[in-house]
Amino acid sequence: MELRVLQYFLAVARENSISGAAQFLHLSQPTLSRQLKELEEELGKQLFIRGNRRITLTEEGMILRRRAEEVIELIQKAEDEIAASDAVLAGDILIGAGETDGNRFLIKTMKEIQKDYPLVHFHIVSGDKAMITEAIDRGSIDFGIVFGNVDTAKYDSITIHHDDTWGVLMRRDTELAGKEFVTAEDLMDKPLIISRQAFQYSDLKNFFHIEQEQLNIVATYSLLFNGSLMVDEGLGYAICFDKLINVSGDSNLCFRPLKPKIKARMNIIWKKYQVFSKPAQKFLQKLQETEFQKGGNSI
C-alpha cells in the first residue's frame, strides 16, 4: 500500500466526493477513481458507499481512515523534526484573517519568525470566515483565523487565548450612545448593520431570541471598515467586535458592549493532512509553542 494512495483515500474521505478530492489533489477524476478501485482490490474490502452526490465510508473504510491518519501524523512529525534542524529557511506564508485585535498574537509570532529567518515573508489576505475556509480548501492560503466552531473533520486548529467582545458601533449623537450596555430589546426597532455571517454564531443568534428575518437589518458588511462608514453616515447601528474601529478622541463613533456580555473565541485553522512548506511548518511550530505556554489547546 503506497503512502500516496493513502493520501488520496483520506482526501476522498474528507471531501465525501471523488470530484472534490480530485480537484484538491490536482488529479483527473478517472485517475483518482482507478486508484481507489485498486486500493479496494488490494485490501479485498469495499471502502466506500457511492451515492449520487455523496460518498460515505463503510465500516472497513472507517478503520482504514483511522489508521491512515495515524500514519500521516507520524510522517508529518518526522518532517517537522527534520525541517526544524535546518539553519536557513526561506519562502512565503499565506494567512487568511478577519478583523480582530487578536491578530496581534499572530503578528508577534510573525515578528519572532522574521527575526530568526529574515528570508521568510508573510502575506495576509483579509476576509470573513466563508472566504477564508474557501481559500484553505482551494489551497491558496496556508492558515486561517476564524471565530466560532471549527469543522474538525476538515480542519486542524489551535484555540487562541483571546476573546473578542460583541457590541454595537454607533454615532455619538444616537439615543443608545448614552447607555453603558446595549440589550436585545434596545435594538429591536433599530436599523442594524451586521456582518454577513453574524447569525452563524449561536451565542449572537441566541442573544436576540428571534430569527434574523425579524430584525430590521438594513445592510451587511464583510469587513468592518465599510460598516463603520455606514454607521458614520447615519445608516444604522453595526453589530461587531470591540477594538476594531478607533472611537477615541474626536471620532463621531462610539462602541457599547452587549448585555449580557458575549465573547467569541479565536481559532487558527489549517486543512487536515496539509503538506506544508518548511517555513509554514516552522511558523506552526512557533504558534503551538507560544499558545501552549499560555495554556491554549491544539486540536
DSSP string, 54-117: -EEE-HHHHHHHHHHHHHHHHHHHHHHHHHHT-S--EEEEEEEE-S-TTHHHHHHHHHHHHHH-
Q: How many CA atoms lie within 13 A of 147 on its CB side?
A: 28
Per-residue pLDDT of 201-211, as tens digits, reads: 777 888 988 88
Q: What pLDDT score was predicted for residue 299?
A: 44
Q: What pLDDT score was predicted for residue 172?
A: 96
Residue ranges for the chain with pLDDT beneath 50: 296, 298-299
Q: What pLDDT score was predicted for residue 77?
A: 67
Q: How far apart are CA 289 and CA 64, in angstroms?
A: 31
